[in-house]
Structure 1
């Protein structure tokens, strides 16, 4: 259902509010440079600091402005099952293609609780679900057996996973346990090359916010089985993948965007703050290495 370079879009802010004009420009730039789908209101989109009204407005803008050019995978996760369902119901009504649903965070459900959570969502909304496993943030890990159980129980609802566990063996676990049609997307830019070699279909990417053309070309090289070309592009992008996390994300990503576009600010919502001078230096060096910024 989904493949290639898929940016987890930042949510631009200006003077404390969502900068809708900048968001539309970001959407156009992404599509023009080869991004194959868009993810509003994910982790990189600072969904955790958006009000529900803002959250829904960002999804609405993304769907409307994308206008069917690429799929929209709306961030719908919550640690409250009812709230996640509300986000999914809204996203379905406004035309999103699928929902990205993170494992509930903070309350640390068991694997049985995860199955109950995702089952409730699948049974009460027919928007396809891409599971989002990022135990470094949620603490809770959606284990491979749980992923396989959910995908087999709801084959038309649980259609894929964004995996940011860092465990590359899971690509094979999921493929062997579910089948090749289950959509596996890397959640870690720096691991996308080996994940694709193991059977993943692309990446829901932070770096693609800043380098959409290079990320799209990298993913296409993988599809073409041109891994020499993929490695060449990956080497250009590799420092940038790590620079995106030199400080609390998405601060470095927003700083990088502000360096390459004058219509983007590096403004964040508390408790996040703009990135440190050390992180800015790492971002600048990585942008230069990728050929996205002229040397100072």
Structure 2
């Protein structure tokens, strides 16, 4: 598997009484690697980066890098809607030994395309680390457009993008506008398989928290051109993929891990809350159907 290709887990951050559960984080990482995952993203959206302070952010990335110990790439979430803060987080991730940084489109302040270009350019020029852009308009309001991605792909250490736009038209434009070596990763589990067959190189996945082996098998099959096997695994996982977003992520993923005995406390930090009773019941039923409970 090439670097930054494959099934990469957007890892949840375990807390106990609101504080980082270090042993819980180590155990989750080992579970991922033992089940064949191809990479780990700490401090992404699923890792509740928005409610981690700087010291916690660094602590999670440091511990992830130390635990992974080079077995798979670590792509550290370091995005912010302040360019100077994003640079500071990216510098810290590099010092921690992360293999790459995942930098989200700035949220809330709604920069135009030139502002987006200059934001990411400034980060890339300030920190010599591979950078993967992260487009998630459902959370940031704005898109980084394919033409802007193509401009950014000319910067040597901007090596790829996580596309969570759920739009195969936009994904196709990014792939056709950018150099062949530029890595496009799906940011949505349900679109991972079609994205790969369109030319993507994998997925940064939420459902992989719960079933890393299944997601790894699906992506490996798709990257290997085995459409039958990829489609079979896609439809096996599809109901669980849907449930990961039945209430706001990462609540359902954390609850599923608690139900499986892999997390002591599934409560996300406020203002996030856990899933409602109906979602928990649906998660239990689906985990039973999959033979996991």
Match of 2:64 among 48, 62, 65: 62
Cα offset, 1:248, TM superposition: 1.2
Of residues 77-86 and 168-177 in structure 1, the stretch that sits farther from structure 2 once superposed is 168-177
Matches within 5 A, 1:12-31: 12-31=14-33
CA distance in 2, matches of 1:61, 1:272: 24
Indicate the residue corresponding to 1:130 in structure 2.
132
Match of 1:49 among 48, 51, 56: 51
Unaligned 5+ runs, structure 1: none
Question: Is residue 14–residue 263 contact of structure 2 (8 Å, CA) maintained in 1?
Answer: no
Q: Does 1:81 align with 2:88?
A: no
Cα offset, 1:180, TM superposition: 1.9
CA distance in 1, matches of 2:246, 2:118: 36
Indicate the residue corresponding to 1:142 in structure 2.
144
- Per-residue Cα deviation, 1:183-211 (whole angstroms, up to 9, x for no partner): 01000000111101101111000000000
> TM-score with structure 2 length normalisation?
0.97
Matches within 5 A, 1:176-215: 176-215=176-215
Indicate the residue corresponding to 1:282 in structure 2.
282
Cα offset, 1:291, TM superposition: 2.7
SS at match of 2:185: strand
SS at match of 2:249: coil
In the TM superposition, structure 1's runs of 4+ consecutive aligned residues that sit over 3 Å from their partners are none
Question: Is residue 208–residue 215 contact of structure 2 (8 Å, CA) maintained in 1?
Answer: yes
SS at match of 1:204: strand
Cα offset, 1:288, TM superposition: 2.5
The count of residues paired between Structure 1 and Structure 2 equals: 291
CA distance in 2, matches of 1:168, 1:147: 15
Cα offset, 1:259, TM superposition: 1.0
Cα offset, 1:264, TM superposition: 3.5
Cα offset, 1:292, TM superposition: 1.9
Matches within 5 A, 1:239-258: 239-258=239-258
Indicate the residue corresponding to 2:261 in structure 1.
261
Cα offset, 1:263, TM superposition: 4.1
- Per-residue Cα deviation, 1:11-48 (whole angstroms, up to 9, x for no partner): 00001100000000000110111111100000000000
SS at match of 1:59: helix
Unaligned 5+ runs, structure 2: none
> TM-score with structure 1 length normalisation?
0.96
Indicate the residue corresponding to 1:172 in structure 2.
172
SS at match of 2:8: strand
Cα distance change of structure 1 residues 290 and 157 upon mapping to structure 2, 3 Å threshold: same
- Per-residue Cα deviation, 1:87-139 (whole angstroms, up to 9, x for no partner): 10011111100000000000010001001100100111111110000001000
